[in-house]
Structure 1
Amino acid sequence: MSLTQFGPVYSGRASAVRAGEVVLSLVASGLVGMRGWAGVRRLQHPYDRSLQLGLDRLAALCVRAGSSPPVGVADLVGVWCAERPLDSWPLEFDPDAQVGGERLLIGGEPSEFCLEWAVAARDVVSEVHESALVKHIKDTAALLGRPELYAQWRLFVTEHAVLGPEEFLVAKNAVLDVPQWATWMEESYGPVTAEASAGGRVAVCGGCGQWIVPRADGRVRCRVWRCAQRHDLPEPDRVQARGARRLEPELVRFVALPGRPELDLARRLAARGARVVLYPKLDALDLVAVWPGGHSIGVDVKDWHSPYLLARRIKTFPNWGAGDPHAYRKGYLVVPRDRLRANRSYMRILAQRSEALKAQPQIEVVCDDDLVASCPDLGTAGEVVCGP
């Protein structure tokens, strides 16, 4: 194996860390590329190109470190990714990356840590959000002067993972004055595949609300982080698979799952009397809420395992003038409480690592429980809307 083809020679602490992150991102992306939503079923060619590139770079760094490299992709996936925590790999990482004890595969599936580093490698979030479908929905909504259509679509797919034949027909006809709506539904939902069902039924998680692929042994257990932590997870619902449609895998990962904490926060605020607008201005923010007393806030919800990676993703909050229907007085970046409970360094790493937060000291980073508690509760329910 030639070592001259693996890229630049890294020197210095910063370069070594960067080299380690590149390898981690490539391998994580390759694992995700192998599995889609269905899971890594078997090791077979063709492998995702990112996985091979990651192996090549890892092998070169192993040689430089005097360590034995993985013996091919099967060894990388089956042993290194599945059994060895990242802090045992001969790579350097920034302490705030918190790789200690993290594995890329757990139970044959990419871990949450792995999924987030895959996002980092190829900017999959931007890729998905600017995909043909999402871009078409945003462009059409803007052209029609109805930005709420995008919010309606996003709300619907977040709440509906599986649709029976009649439900799917109703969904397609939900917005009759916009012919494109039916096409959006067709492209958002695909037939239930054989591997996604068991005994003629597809399982829908009672926690996150998304469809679950049965394991090889036939057991059905949701692998989403929050669901995997719960001891009181409700039994999944079983939906007749014949003729049913399930949300496309990429929309599960990048739209529906992130949408759950956003929608949960919106409804908790509305229960205390706030009026909450979802995804204003075609998702410029996750929500804008007006308290019962008139105080207005703009909110972005960030549900990430890694604050180190999240810090790189935080963008500048929009500054809308007083005459704008979505103008807000105070901006908040909201992190779910359980993320902070699981990682006491979360807030520190965000504050130290995010250039966007440093440039916007007026933006307050809070947990969801604290933001909800700050909303005055006058005993009258508010509302969650998709429109202006």
Structure 2
Amino acid sequence: MDQTEAVHPAPWAESEGIRLLQGVATAMVRLAEATGTESLSRPYPEEAQQALNDIALACLLLKADPPESLPELIDWAAHRPIDKWTFTLPADAIRPGSLLLDKATRRPAQLCYEWAVDAEESTALSERPFMGTAATRCREEDYPEAYQAFRSLLIRRPVLTHRDLVTLPGADDGLLGPLGELLHDIYQPAPASYLDRDRRIYTACGRCRTLLHPTTEGGLWCERRSCQDRDSVRPGREFRADDDGGVHLLIGPLRQWVAAPGILEERLASRLVKSGADVELWPDYGAYGVRVSLADGTTLAVEHKDWTSPALLGRRAAPPLSGPPYDRCFWVIPAARVREQPNYRAVFERYRRAGSPDLISDRELVDTVRKAAGTGPSGLDTTSDEPAEGLF
């Protein structure tokens, strides 16, 4: 079997439930990116109206009560677990109790983004158009430093003021080079739904630096799964709504698919260096996440992933199409995901393509580096589901 031949179970492609769920997830992401689901107005976005029509028709065919309006469909997404919806899905496609929207904010949960980007026509919801443009421009000008600076900016500063947008391209000796003008495309005015209207303040997360969303209970919510898993959200820098020309937020696809994994990749790279490896982040203009050179001469291509759904992650698993050569390729997940879902790797294996990267935890990768450097006892185990403490 060659590397492009799918080994997905047949029911996935044949399931009407898959198409319906992808459509609803896409609609929820579109609504959230446009105006926030709390401020709906007619006419509805095309994706939202289509999702409502499709779900209503499916319910009628199954003799079930359909959502009668888009606000009611949003209520389903925020309160009704997916496994309680009327359509059926392939085994292990979702975990029981999973929701598409956060209950307190009606913002898309990480799972919602994952289902939206799984849709066939998901390019507009992915990072590829923007990062592809950045890589092409830097490659044409032989300017890898600009690509590294650009990627680091998206990870470390998902929130910028208007003054930042104007001054950053010329700062640091123009390190952003040909990419400075892209900032105005990828940083958009912060949605009003993130604003504390009484104080006229936007609050950034003290961990990942993206904006925190006020909840209906008066709290703050972070869209990053890793921040939610902590004991509580930690507020960080505050931005006055009218300071420095206004507040701008990195667009959703780049927050979700570049900034979020980038934080994990930078931390993992630091840990690997301390464990005895030579590490290069985003080699060959982002061909893959981390190139790891071990003390025994082995070279690894590594992508850090923190997906809620192992089935969706498995469907997307593929080796790098370009970049520096390597001996083995791995997709790395936080060890906490294995503790949370003991069958995570088994589900990933069921849905991944032949020839795609193996899946290991961050702890296992660090242990492998330490073993190669002669500083640790543990080796690589790509099959064990034994829980281990996470790196971060």
Confirm or deny a common fold (TM above 0.5). yes
Q: 1:65 aligns with which of 58, 62, 66?
A: 62
**What is the deviation of 1:26?**
0.5
1:132-177 Cα shifts (integer Å, max 9, x gaps) = x433322211111234432321122101123457765663223527
Take 1:364 and 1:95, find their aligned partners in 2: how far apart are those partners?
Answer: 21
Residue 249 of structure 2 corresponds to which residue in structure 1? 247
Take 2:247 and 2:48, find their aligned partners in 1: how far apart are those partners?
Answer: 31
Residue 336 of structure 1 corresponds to which residue in structure 2? 334
Distance change in 2, residues 1:47/1:373 (3 Å): same
SS at match of 2:207: coil
**What is the deviation of 1:296?**
2.0
**What is the deviation of 1:115?**
1.9
Structure 2 gaps, min length 5? 1-9, 376-392
Q: Report if the CA contact (8 A) 1:171-1:185 is conserved.
A: no
Q: 1:256 aligns with which of 254, 259, 269?
A: 259
SS at match of 1:331: strand
Take 2:34 and 2:272, find their aligned partners in 1: how far apart are those partners?
Answer: 32
Take 1:310 and 1:369, find their aligned partners in 2: how far apart are those partners?
Answer: 19
Take 1:300 and 1:177, find their aligned partners in 2: how far apart are those partners?
Answer: 25
How many corresponding residue pairs?
356
Distance change in 2, residues 1:16/1:66 (3 Å): farther
Residue 224 of structure 1 corresponds to which residue in structure 2? 224
SS at match of 1:45: coil
SS at match of 2:150: helix
Residue 90 of structure 2 corresponds to which residue in structure 1? 94
Alignment of 1:13-92 (within 5 A): 14=11, 18-36=15-33, 39-78=36-75, 80-92=76-88
Q: Report if the CA contact (8 A) 1:17-1:93 is conserved.
A: no
Alignment of 1:160-171 (within 5 A): 160-163=157-160, 171=168
Per the normalisation by structure 2, the TM-score is: 0.80
**What is the deviation of 1:308?**
0.9
**What is the deviation of 1:179?**
4.3
SS at match of 1:332: strand
Q: Report if the CA contact (8 A) 1:205-1:212 is conserved.
A: yes
Task: Give the RMSD, CA atoms, in angstroms.
Answer: 2.9
Q: Report if the CA contact (8 A) 1:274-1:292 is conserved.
A: yes
State yes or no: 1:105 paired with 2:106.
no
Take 2:214 and 2:120, find their aligned partners in 1: how far apart are those partners?
Answer: 28
Moved more, 160-169 or 303-312: 160-169
**What is the deviation of 1:23?**
0.7
Amino acid at match of 1:353: Y
**What is the deviation of 1:328?**
2.2
Moved more, 366-375 or 273-282: 273-282
Alignment of 1:214-363 (within 5 A): 214-215=214-215, 219-241=219-241, 242-243=243-244, 245-250=247-252, 251-318=254-321, 326-355=324-353, 358-360=354-356, 363=357
State yes or no: 1:129 paired with 2:127.
yes
Take 2:13 and 2:143, find their aligned partners in 1: how far apart are those partners?
Answer: 49
Take 1:16 and 1:122, find their aligned partners in 2: how far apart are those partners?
Answer: 11
Take 1:15 and 1:305, find their aligned partners in 2: how far apart are those partners?
Answer: 18
Take 1:90 and 1:261, find their aligned partners in 2: how far apart are those partners?
Answer: 37
Take 1:178 and 1:290, find their aligned partners in 2: how far apart are those partners?
Answer: 28
1:79-118 Cα shifts (integer Å, max 9, x gaps) = x222222222221111111242122222222222222111
Residue 203 of structure 1 corresponds to which residue in structure 2? 203
**What is the deviation of 1:331?**
1.9
Distance change in 2, residues 1:207/1:37 (3 Å): farther
Q: Report if the CA contact (8 A) 2:100-2:112 is conserved.
A: yes
Moved more, 297-306 or 201-210: 201-210
Q: Report if the CA contact (8 A) 1:191-1:246 is conserved.
A: yes
Take 2:291 and 2:157, find their aligned partners in 1: how far apart are those partners?
Answer: 23
SS at match of 1:97: coil
Structure 1 gaps, min length 5? 1-12, 321-325, 380-388
Amino acid at match of 2:307: W
